[in-house]
Structure 1
Amino acid sequence: MINFNGTLLSQSEAKITIANRGYKYGDALFETLKVVNGKIFFWEDHYFRLMSSMRILRMDIPMNFTMEFLESEVLKTLEANRLLESAARVRINVDRGEGGKYLPLNSTAVQCNISVEKHDDPFYSIDPEASCVVDLYKDYFIAPGLLSGLKSNNKVIQVIGSIYAKENDLDNCLVLNTNKSIIEALNGNLFLVKGDKIKTPPLEEGGLKGVMRKQILELLAKDLNLVVEEASISPFELQKADELFITNVIKGIIPITKYRKKTYSSDFAQKLVVKLNAKLRLL
């Protein structure tokens, strides 16, 4: 079952038309949530990121789009799909409806749909035997700025980058901006560990304003033995790093095991995921 503007519909009924602006122009935003036993992980951060993104895109936010309303609609959709008592992946998609060319005909026609699917892992874990081999994706670059950091439906670089990774037997790729600084991975934010120093690219360089990135930075800030920095990461620094890891809400922390001829440990990431799960138990 799909939730379309508060109404539950079957997969066959939940169709958008070719006039939908999200389909025609990428005039849409989305949030991907992890929900376990009816508890939305970091819901407040997701909600405020969505509202902020809608304002940046000059979408008229409906009066009923409160945190409580959207949460109840997510839970209603999970219950309809018999996923309220298990782990699930949820996508909230917001678009500007239909009509117009580049200029919308009806700026108040914002609509929302919610889809859900089963997810196998209720908490975050790292498989010490898993590999994550990466390289740089250099066919195209992302421009620095606020728009690049939105979770909009325009994810063409992530799509073709993922195809490139598969064609080259890679598990992921690192994306660069037009200044040739590394800003993120294809599916999450990047952290670099060198001794007691932790770096992650600043958001103004064009990377995603990740919800899990925020959680990790908050955890790191509590450790007085670490020096945490939001600063540019050059490709040259990757070879000197002790660890690299990717973060996103669905997977949590994904250690990178190899970049070109350099291999990495995951000791720091293993300890960090323990702290992350401890934080979740307090939510």
Structure 2
Amino acid sequence: MINLNGSIVDQQQAQIPFNNRGTYYGDGVFETLRCYEGKPLLFEAHYFRLMASMRILRMEIPQSFTPEFIEEEITNLLAKNNFTQGHARVRFTVWRKPGGFYTPQDRNVEFAIESSEIDGKYQNPSSREVELFKDHHVVSGMLGNLKTAQKMVNILAGIYAQENDYQDMLLINEKKMVVESISGNLFLRSGDTIKTPPLSDGCLNGIMREQVLSQLKMMLNYKVEETTITPFELQRADELFTTNMIRGVQSIHKYRKKAYETTCADELIELINGRYFGA
């Protein structure tokens, strides 16, 4: 079952207009939430990011889109799909109503919520090799910080990884600086210094990115910097890892001929699992 504009309907029966602007122009935004025991984690952070994204994209925010309304819609769907125990993934998608060409005739929105079961607590993968994706680049600036429905660079990078037997790809911006991976923010450790690209470089304003930054700043054994990362730094680093809400912290084990440690990522995973899942 899914939630389509506030109604719980069977996924196979759900219908949206063929000319919806999400399909035609990528005119939409979404949030991906990790849920535990029937409740979304860090809901407030997701809610305010969604509202900020809708404002930046000049969408008309419905008066009904209060934190209480959206959280209740999510928890009701989780209950309907029997996801009140264990772990689940929820995607909340918003798109502008049909009409117009590039310029919309109607700034009002429609929405859908879908949920699926996922495995247990966060775990670090045993093997993950990456490469630099140079065919296309993300654009630095504010639009790159949003989870929009238009993710063509990520899609093409995913196809490249699939065709070449990589587990992820690192994306660069128009200045040839390393920005993020296909589905997560990037962190680089050299000695006791940990770097992550600033939002101005075009990386996603990730919820887990903020959680990891806050955690690292409390750990006295590391110095944290939000600064540009060049491709040349990748092979000189001691450790690379990526973050997102669904997978948590994931180590990168190999880039070209360079093999990496997993020390900091392992430590973060243990701390984050303890905070959210009590284990």
TM-score between both structures, scaled by the size of structure 2: 0.97
Q: Specify the alignment match of 2:227 in structure 1.
A: 231
Alignment of 1:32-43 (within 5 A): 32-43=32-43
What's the secondary structure of 1:233's corresponding residue?
coil
Question: Cα offset for 1:81?
Answer: 1.1
Following TM superposition, by how much is the alpha carbon of 1:281 offset from its aligned partner in structure 2, in angstroms? 4.9
Alignment of 1:111-122 (within 5 A): 111-121=110-120
Provide the secondary structure at the position in 1 that maps to 2:157. Answer: helix
The counterpart of 2:122, out of the listed 111, 124, 133, is: 124
Match of 1:270 in 2: 266
Are 2:30 and 1:30 aligned?
Answer: yes
Tell me the TM-score normalised to structure 1 length: 0.96
Counterpart code for 1:68: E
Distance 2:183 2:221 in 1: 29
1:80 aligned to 2:76?
Answer: no
> Percent identity between the aligned chains?
46
RMSD across aligned positions (CA): 1.1
Superposed counterparts of 1:201-240, under 5 Å: 201-240=197-236
Give the structure 1 partner of residue 64 of structure 2.
64
- Give the corresponding residue for 1:16: 16
The within-5 A match list for 1:53-202 is: 53-107=53-107, 109-121=108-120, 123-127=121-125, 130-202=126-198
Q: Deviations over 1:137-183 (max 9, x none)?
A: 00001111101111000011111100101111111010000000000
Deviation at 1:86, TM superposition (A): 2.7
Gaps of 5+ in 2: none
Tell me the distance in 2 between the aligned counterparts of 1:16 and 1:243: 45
Query: Deviation digits for residues 23-52 of structure 1, max 9, x if unmatched?
Result: 111000000111011121111111111000
The aligned length equals: 278
SS in structure 2 at match of 1:280: helix
Moved over 4 A (4+): none
Distance 1:86 1:3 in 2: 21
**What secondary structure does 1:245 align onto?**
strand
Q: Which amino acid aligns with 2:155?
A: V
SS at match of 1:163: helix
Partner of 1:183, secondary structure, is: strand
Q: Distance in 1 between matches of 2:169 and 2:104?
A: 35
Amino acid at match of 1:5: N
CA shift for structure 1 position 224: 2.7
1:134 deviates by: 0.4
Q: Deviations over 1:192-233 (max 9, x none)?
A: 011110000001100100110000000011123321000011
Structure 1 unaligned regions, length at least 5: none
Alpha-carbon distance in structure 2 between the residues aligned to 1:254 and 1:246 = 5
- Between the aligned partners of 1:126 and 1:25, the Cα distance in structure 2 is 36
1:18 deviates by 1.5
Q: For each residue in 1:220-263, what CA deviation from the matched residue of structure 2 results, as whole angstroms up to 9, or x when unmatched?
A: 11123321000011111111111000101000011000000000
